[in-house]
Chains A and B, each alone.
Chain A
Amino acid sequence: SQQGEEDPQALSIQEGENATMNCSYKTSINNLQWYRQNSGRGLVHLILIRSNEREKHSGRLRVTLDTSKKSSSLLITASRAADTASYFCATPHYFGNEKLTFGTGTRLTIIP
């Protein structure tokens, strides 16, 4: 399977704390994306980081990418109850391909 893995599978933290989740992938990529999915809903695109970037910020989100290790991390700072969701990383099936392979996901629960 080409599916990437995410770590941890589940994470529970107190509101206000930072949440970090990691993603490992298998193919050569031109970019990596992170998506959020609220329970029973579709996915929302959070951020895209290109293969020539090492770090990217968007609001309370910080994404890093290490292509040598084929890994990425998503940091959510100052977490809020509304951040409770599943988070998936996604990579192209192969370099430049439009199809995406999704990781196994991290279920994040923010405790008020």
Chain B
Amino acid sequence: GAVVSQHPSWVICKSGTSVKIECRSLDFQATTMFWYRQFPKQSLMLMATSNEGSKATYEQGVEKDKFLINHASLTLSTLTVTSAHPEDSSFYICSARERRFGWDNEQFFGPGTRLTVL
């Protein structure tokens, strides 16, 4: 159980286009979903936290108009990178937290999306 999927697994796009990444919890309802960014050989940096039906909370330094997050249901969150530029190229990973875990904040991660902006 506790499987999280991401789609697409990789995407190449031209500068100026927008890219949407989907994150789904397949067998559980996610209280909260998280979006991370990871540069090569570096750690994960939290970008934003999204809760179903409410606006996402962005970390300091993350442009909310650049990275649009929609959490339409308890099993789906989307990240849209708007007007992508080469510096947005990165590995984007989502994770989900299951409601029943209470104080234990274990997160289940998707396989990640490799974005390359030309």
Contact = CB atoms under 8 A, between A and B. Distances in A.
B106 A40 contact: no
Interface string B20-41: 0000000000001010000001
Contact of A31 (B46, B104, B108, B111): B104
B103 A45 contact: no
Interface stretch (A14-22, A55-63, A99-107): A99-107
B44 interface: yes
Interface SS of chain B: helix, strand, loop or mixed?
A: strand
Interface residues of A, number: 26
Interface in A85-105: 88, 92, 96-105
A92 B103 CA distance: 10
Nearest to A101: B46
A45 to B, nearest CB: 6
Contact of B46 (A30, A33, A100): A100
Interface of B: 4, 6, 32, 34, 41-44, 46, 49, 91, 93, 95, 97, 103-112, 114
Interface of A: 3, 30-31, 33, 35, 40-45, 48, 50, 88, 92, 96-105, 107
